[in-house]
Chains A and B, each alone.
Chain A
């Protein structure tokens, strides 16, 4: 996208008034978004975008400026704005000492059916297939929304350390939302298969399956009773359960929160923070996973980062800024939503590693508790670790067996305490896709988890436990 000489001139301009580090990020992106509701294609949209951002760091301060125009004149002007904005410690130019060296272009996430070659009519057909399967799943399906989005993002990063990296990311994701209604009672279900790759996604995840799964969730919840409230054992099913670790622990492991002492895990590297049954990783190298890439948005290599190993805290989730300031190796977690944003430490594919137990054994060993099959969104206060999660599909466990479905349950607790309270981990690791929001930036992530049991959590519901 950008040649070496242009990059050099822009970085030189960025450091013309001083600074410790400068970076140029250039991006082009295009893709389409389709939406079907009421069996009608109501959104048929596509768009393209180009932009570049220049960052200058000086000590703990960061200045950033971006533009939609990626011609050299505009890049130089943008670099000038960033340079002027960072002017706090003098104005003597810093020269680029190292020549720029292009890092190898990597193709670790093959794309078989590219988004630009896959016919639009066939994309519409995928919507129909998901929609029909959902509508045929049961008599009370009232509404189905199916959204299909694909994107092709090219990024280029050059920095004053002499690194130059490019990455190409093709992504496809389907979102199915189903509303079921009966006698004034309304319930919802959703399913979201996605991958870093092309339309081969639907060979592995046929749209019918996503449609059916979302519908069954909504239909099941129509039968559900109000959830009980109070403390009890909770078995969290594999797949979506990973969002709990992501929210309640992952965000507190991000280096910016740790640096600000705004994290419950600050200062605890090397200490035991979880049950010995728990190992957790952040891994952007998982082939074709929704949250993967070859280079992050700062040009660092994707990594598999051990966060917790057998209960001991091993690493934080780092970006370039913290690794430069604190002398830590970058972990390939510097990400940004687009050229419009400053990169910050973000998760990629974050998961709790599989254990050795069997799901059936864990349930059989639970006299009374909640089986959280699907979690919705949640929120956490990284400073205290307090979190809450909506259980979108849940069942009571009675006498070691899965019993009646319950609705309106939430899980409430404290991240560090839950980690210590995990007393069983199964061998059925599975992943789910999501968009993670932080400081107004959304990035694609996977969350993963095997079935596991937490000794006790507070379930927020509307009835007493029977």
Chain B
């Protein structure tokens, strides 16, 4: 990506030409994205896969009398975009009129350096990046003699440019770079295998701490060797930060004003009420320096900002885009979000995190005394329902006795209701970590009491 204002200039031009094409009475928004990326997968000391990606696309939102139409195309030529404009306008004929379908107006964006772009990604030779993936595999294998192999070790980075322009006067662009690495280790003892996972994320290759990732992935697999199930009982669960972040993903979906307005959230109707223990504060901050989802504006050009959604256990607000804010009689919180140019903006968290408290994992285990330390949960997509708040997940971890981890556990489940988990949170640690997958979710170690843990006996 070489041009200064390149993509924004194009977007402005398409809005103007689109306006002429669609005629009066039609409002248009153009969202353009260009992304170049590299992914390296290492396996068995070789480059298993090397993928160069370059994609460009444009999404067009058309509004006519409150009716919404959407279309997209790949490529950045006027011919393709013109067809997308025509289709979006035609598609709007079939939308149901809704007075809250609005495009946001112009806004001033922060001029501060958010630390989301660094030239190092483009300046680093791809041979060095290949070496990083290979090195991550080597380090993981060397971290513990019980690591039999590495299932996959990955280095990936990307540079993106986003621009948005509309007939309502929105004009914004930003560039970002990101890079991450992750590794799945396989530990073996006899004929038992266990897997462990770790990752790191940053805006430039030198942000990544390969040694730490390798050691953690090895340790997370090795500590599960010799695992068995346990008898069912209610107990305190200590969710490690990876797992707590997955639970936060469920909360993010329930905090969406769209889900709330449409009766699809277990948090509907609870504004101003205590929905969690007083130690729980949940923040969404789209301007958090260097965090994975930080950007000057959201996916429809509304400035990003920081807001406390749950403050000392009390539900203070929901995540809004322009549409939901209009319906609820409030302001957008800068949380319009789309998967890519192929999708119209809906609502999503930016960097959603649980405000850290005190103590690390060891300290919290000592406080809790007896319980289950949960290191991985499986089935989050199906077993954590953000509509009903029902939680029912498989887990692996360690049985905690007298404040320290003992027997590794597999084939257990955790079950309950999200609001019970929130209300029974008895400890929030200080070891905040952001999980870059599925947006950007950050959590420290969290302890929840009275959770039903089931096992084989």
Contacts and interface: CB of A to CB of B under 8 A. Distances in A.
A88 interface: yes
Interface in B423-451: none
Contacts of A381: 195, 378
A378 B53 contact: no
Given A63-B50, A188-B387, A459-B454, A45 B91 contact: yes
A410 B47 contact: no
Interface in B213-271: 229, 232, 262-264, 266
B415 A262 contact: no
Contact of B383 (A40, A261, A386, A388): A388
Of all A-B residue pairs in the complex, the 7 with the closest CB atoms, nearest first, are A460-B413, A388-B394, A377-B382, A229-B454, A40-B96, A390-B382, A45-B70
8 contacts: A44-B95, A48-B72, A66-B53, A66-B55, A82-B52, A227-B415, A410-B413, A458-B455
A42 B262 CA distance: 12
A39 B263 CA distance: 13
Contacts of B393: 388, 410, 460
Interface stretch (A12-20, A54-62, A199-207, A286-294): A54-62
Given A413-B411, A459-B454, A66 B54 contact: yes
Contact of A42 (B52, B57, B96): B96
B75 A68 contact: yes
Given A42-B98, A48-B73, A408 B51 contact: no
B69 A44 contact: yes
A389 B410 contact: no
Contacts of B381: 377, 379
A62 B48 CA distance: 6
Contacts of A412: 394, 411-413, 454
Given A412-B411, A458-B456, A188 B53 contact: no
A413 B378 CA distance: 12
A186 B392 contact: no
Given A47-B342, A61-B50, A65-B52, A384 B193 contact: yes
Interface string A359-391: 000000000000000001111110110111110
A86 B73 CA distance: 30
B43 interface: yes
Contact of A49 (B52, B74, B456): B74
A64 B49 contact: yes
Nearest to B187: A383
Interface in A80-126: 81-82, 85-86, 88, 120-121, 124
Contacts of A38: 262
Contacts of B452: 229, 461-463
B6 interface: no
A121 B84 CA distance: 20
B73 A378 contact: no
Contacts of B135: none
A409 B452 CA distance: 12
Interface string B42-79: 01101111111111110000000000111111110000
A143 interface: yes
B151 interface: yes
B49 to A, nearest CB: 5
A161 interface: no
B383 A410 contact: yes
Nearest to B395: A388
Contacts of A86: 50
A91 B87 CA distance: 47
A423 interface: no
A145 B259 CA distance: 11
Contacts of A410: 379, 383, 392-394, 413, 415
Interface in B181-206: 186, 193-195
Interface in B374-421: 378-383, 385, 387-390, 392-394, 396, 410-416
B344 interface: yes
A306 interface: no
Contact of B71 (A47, A51, A67, A231): A47
Residue among B57, B94, B149, B414 with max Cβ neighbours from chain A (10 Å): B94
A341 B408 CA distance: 37
B385 to A, nearest CB: 7
A407 interface: yes
B335 interface: no
Please classify how large the interface on chain B is, using the bins under 10, 10 to 19, 20 to 34, 35 or more.
Answer: 35 or more
Q: Is the interface of B mostly helix, strand, loop or mixed?
A: strand
A404 interface: no
A46 interface: yes
Contacts of B69: 44-45
Contacts of A428: none
B457 interface: yes
A50 B382 contact: no
Nearest to A181: B263
Contacts, number: 236
Contact of A230 (B71, B186, B454): B454
A380 B396 CA distance: 12
A68 B379 contact: no
Interface in A178-228: 179, 181, 186-188, 227
Contacts of B379: 377-379, 388-390, 410
Contacts of B266: 186
B48 A60 contact: yes
Given A44-B68, A60-B46, A260-B43, A230 B457 contact: yes
B167 interface: no
A147 B452 CA distance: 35
Contacts of B70: 43-46
B92 interface: yes
Contacts of A384: 193-195, 410
B413 A458 contact: yes
B83 interface: yes
A186 B53 contact: no
Given A67-B54, A181-B263, A188-B387, A41 B186 contact: no
A142 interface: yes
Interface in A387-402: 387-390, 392
A260 B149 contact: yes
Contact of B344 (A43, A378, A380): A43
Given A45-B91, A68-B74, A384-B193, 18 more contacts: A41-B95, A42-B98, A44-B93, A47-B71, A61-B48, A63-B50, A64-B51, A66-B51, A69-B75, A88-B47, A143-B264, A227-B415, A229-B415, A377-B379, A388-B379, A458-B454, A461-B415, A463-B452
Contact of A65 (B44, B51, B194): B51
Given A384-B193, A412-B413, A34 B389 contact: no
A427 interface: no
Nearest to B457: A231
A51 B74 CA distance: 8
A387 B394 contact: yes
Contacts of A66: 51-55
A295 B229 CA distance: 44
Given A143-B263, A188-B385, A414-B411, A68 B92 contact: no
Contacts of B392: 390, 408-410, 460-461
B44 A60 contact: yes
A163 interface: no
Nearest to A60: B46
A314 to B, nearest CB: 23
A26 to B, nearest CB: 13
A102 to B, nearest CB: 26
Nearest to B323: A42
Contacts of A459: 454
Contacts of B75: 50, 68-69
Contact of A379 (B98, B152, B394): B394
Interface in B9-59: 43-44, 46-57
Interface string B120-154: 00000010000000000000000000000101100
